[in-house]
Structure 1
Amino acid sequence: MSDLPEGFHDFLASAGWGKAAIEPIPGDASFRRYFRLRRESGETAMLMHAPPPEEDPAPFLDVAAWLCEHGQRAPAILSADKGKGWVLTEDFGDDRMREWLDARPQDENAAYDAAVDALVALHREPAGPFAAYDMPTYLRETALLTQWYCPAQSLDVDAAGYDAAWEEVLAPMIKRQSNGISVLRDYHAENIMLLGGRPTAPQGLIDFQDALVGHRAYDLVSLLQDARRDVPLELEEAMLARYIAASDADEHFRADYARLGAQRNAKIVGIFTRLAKRDGKPRYLAMIPRVWAAMERDLAHPALTPVAKWFDANIPDDLRRAGGGTFV
């Protein structure tokens, strides 16, 4: 295998996996690369290469340790070299929630029940030692829409008014997240592993290295307004009600859920456009109509009125009806 990163075999030898067979695993939208290692005995492990300076494996290692200490199922760390970007972990197998449900749609309710219950348990724990999901971070994320999507559609928009509208919408919610909980930020069907060959078994977590301390609705939105698979509206409502009934969510929770749904979806539209335009990954454009439809539902909530008015004034109806428009 000729395209392996420099230092690959040296790290495996130091970790005791030097003779293992190597199986590349398709990556995500980052610079990280993944490999499955397989010993002759059949034992397997996962190798992640998160090369500096583009990537830093330290947050992954820190969050994984915190999650395991607080009742969640992150992969065990077998060996690591943070300086060179190598992390060898337990192998959770191939049963990602998304593919499992594609093949077994009858398990959808059970799998989402378990994923929501895992969030309820996580949110009962004290917040982790992570940075705050604060207003500058929220605004930096929503600005990805005006920075990338709008130019891709040749739109000249009021970017300052967009930021101001978001600040007005998010300010009351941020006051309610002052105590905060740990937010994994990419909690969805492609980052949840179904362990033990059934949807109700403990679910393994991956891709959590960007964790922050924020609002309890964020990961629920990430799960139920999934950019990568269709979640039926009736299932979204049932799971939202399940979370509310099992947690100490207050009377503002549904409004905050809509706020964070719109915020996250605006960010994703910008990110997916950037992946296509800057990084040469056009496959993400096909997901934008799904994300846009969820954002439109969120914008219909009265809590989003200032942002909804901005969209009405700046994004033409034909683009919105087309699920974000076309990309050339």
Structure 2
Amino acid sequence: MTGLVLERLLADETQTALLGEDLALSLRPGDVLALKGDLGAGKSTLARALIRALADDAGLDVPSPTFTLVQSYDTRVPVHHFDLYRLSSATEIDELGFEEALVQGAALVEWPERAQDYLPKTSVLVELVQHGEGRLARLSGEGAAFDRAARSLAMRRFLENAGWGEARRRHFIGDASARSYEIVSLAGAEPRVLMNSPRLVLGPPVRDGRPYAEIAHLAQSVTAFVAIDRALLAQGVSVPVIHAKDLDQGFLLTEHLGSESFLDSDGLPVAERYAAAAELLAMMHGKAWPERIEAAPGVFHDVPPFDRDAMMIEASLLVDWYVPMITGKPASEALRVGYDREWNALLDRLQGREYTLMLRDFHSPNIIWRGDRTKHDRLGIVDIQDALIGPSAYDVASLAMDARVTISPEIERQTLDAYVAARHAAGVFDEASFLESYAIMAAQRNSKILGIFVRLEKRDGKPYYLKHLPRIRDYLRRALSHPALASLREFYDANGLLEERAL
């Protein structure tokens, strides 16, 4: 097998098991890990640890497939454990359902040399050889699977440098971006979160020679998270304390704020919690925020503005992605011109309105409820790296029209009332101006989300976002009911942008 080679010393069985965890965290459907080594080299120990990590079950029975030839496990990534030692011919691998296994999951293959030519070229070879009293693991390969494995091993080195080298790693959560999160546990210490935030891939130019991510001011590195985190902590917002960081590689070891959902046990909104989050926003919007923040000695992050270009490129996702899905053809030039005209006229109304630090995705997936705490500390806030300087109304709209859960008009009203009351209690507050800005930002955000959720399905192969579209259309209708948005509402109605569609 050609390609890059990585080596890791394994002093004992514990180190072998940790390598299994590291590889488990990198595994995706379609991957093949070829485990090569003599009898007693540790292949089974490695495979067992990998499967248990995927199952998040340290006591899972993982028998050797020596006699069954293949054992399958319905884990986070379905994994199929092949032992080819008893194959009399390499062609017999087809009879074991090898290709079918890769359609739905990943494969661990012991004794891969028995079917070398039948394994994909993208397989990652993990060779275990004797090295003194321990083993040397030599990984080789090329392509995405090898790159992910290499990054996972780099994360283990990061943990070692932070004094957490023996920590157990388990998948926590991923999101719509390339970021992912793990829970890491070490005896005698509180669990922490390991954040994997690779540098943003900007993508192709979409307007004026600039990529979407640049125009929309998406965070390009983990430096943005570190800077915003510092600023929020300094103002009394409960965001994760960062225990260790590697800004170049995009790794953070942070405080674990808890696992209790902001929603109730049935996944439904709790009005009191939304009101508490609105009051937290009111507190934040009463403070002054720096536009340039030091993330590390000599390393600064300039908080971008939520300017017209960013607002427009986001709103344009509706015509770029949503319109083709509902009509079966690209948006016409006339529709695009009219859409841009209506939105530019509406955004003119934001001139002179209150701007502040805007977290951008302030909604239930990014809020942790901590019922044992009091006041604002009850709310743990995560996913803050894309913060901008923008209209204060935006985050209130993000919360009160939560994209992931249906917020009734009554809870939306209660959330708004809690915010408005807190702002009035704190000093002079222009309620009418705020409510108009709220409607504009709610319409902009929900138009954007209609496009993003279709893009996630069409471009990124994530169809489960489409189930949210009826809710987003309902939110958009609510926002467009404000008198200031009458012209935009007429445009949406005339072009059938709010019609119910079968998915």
TM-score by length of 2: 0.60
2:271 and 2:414 in contact (8 A); partners too:
no
Structure of higher CA gyration radius: 2
Select the structure that is richer in strand: 2
Structure 2 Cα separation of the partners of residues 239 and 33 of structure 1: 30
**Which is bigger in relative contact order (C-alpha 8 A, separation at least 6)?**
1
> Is the 1:261–1:295 Cα contact (8 Å) retained in structure 2?
yes
1:93 aligns with 2:274: no
Measured on the aligned residues, the alpha-carbon RMSD in Å equals 1.8
Structure 2, unmatched stretches of 5+, are 1-20, 27-148, 202-219, 292-302, 424-428
Tell me, what secondary structure is at the counterpart of 2:181?
A: strand
In structure 2, what is the equivalent of residue 121 of structure 1?
A: 283
Q: Does 1:108 align with 2:270?
A: yes
1:179-258 paired onto structure 2 within 5 Å: 180-197=355-372, 201-247=377-423, 248-258=429-439
What residue ranges of structure 1 are gaps of 5+ in the alignment?
Answer: none
Aligned match for 1:312, one of 485, 493, 497: 493
TM-score in terms of structure 1 length: 0.91
**How far is 1:103 from its partner?**
4.3
Following superposition, the deviation at residue 133 of structure 1 comes to 1.1
Letter in 1 for 2:464: R
Q: Note the C-alpha offset of 1:53.
A: 4.2
- Verify the 8 A CA contact 2:275 2:419 in the aligned structure 1: no
CA contact (8 A) 2:275 2:414 kept: no
Per the alignment, residue 343 of structure 2 pairs with 166
Considering fraction of residues, name the structure with more helix.
Answer: 1
| 1:92 counterpart SS class | coil
Determine if contact 2:367/2:379 at 8 Å carries over to the other structure: yes
% same residue? 34
Number of residue equivalences: 317
Residue pair 1:96, 1:191 contacting (<8 A) in 2 also: no
Cα distance in structure 2, aligned partners of 1:192 and 1:26? 14
Distance, in Å, in 2 between the alignment partners of 1:20 and 1:310 is: 56
Letter in 2 for 1:43: E
Q: Residues 199 and 295 from structure 1, CA distance in 2 versus in 1: closer, same or farther, beyond 3 angstroms?
A: farther
| Rounded Cα–Cα distance in structure 1 between residues aligned with 2:290 and 2:260 | 28
Moved more, 144-153 or 299-308: 299-308
Q: Distance in 2 between matches of 1:295 and 1:103?
A: 25
Residues 1:19 and 2:194 are matched in the alignment: no
Please list the CA deviations of residues 96-141 of structure 1 after superposition, one character each: whole Å capped at 9, or x if unmatched: 203xx23496x82321221111111101111331221111111111
2:451 is aligned, of 254, 270, 280, to 270
Q: Which one-letter code corresponds to 2:196 in the other structure?
A: H
- TM-aligned CA deviation for residue 278 of structure 1: 0.1
Amino acid of the residue matched to residue 220 of structure 1? V
Q: Distance in 2 between matches of 1:240 and 1:21?
A: 43
CA offset digits 1:56-77 (Å, max 9, x no partner): 1111111000100111111000
Shift of 1:152: 1.8
2:247 equivalent among 82, 87, 91? 82
Question: Are the equivalent residues in 2 in contact too, given 1:265–1:292 (CA < 8 A)?
Answer: yes
In the alignment, the residues of structure 1 paired with residue 405 and residue 399 of structure 2 have an alpha-carbon distance, to the nearest angstrom, of 10
CA distance 1:162–1:174, shift in 2 (3 Å): same
Question: In 2, are the aligned partners of 1:184 and 1:219 still within 8 Å (CA)?
Answer: yes
- The one-character-per-residue Cα deviations of 1:147-201 (angstroms, maximum 9, x if unpaired) are 1111122253411110110010111113313xx2111011011111112546855
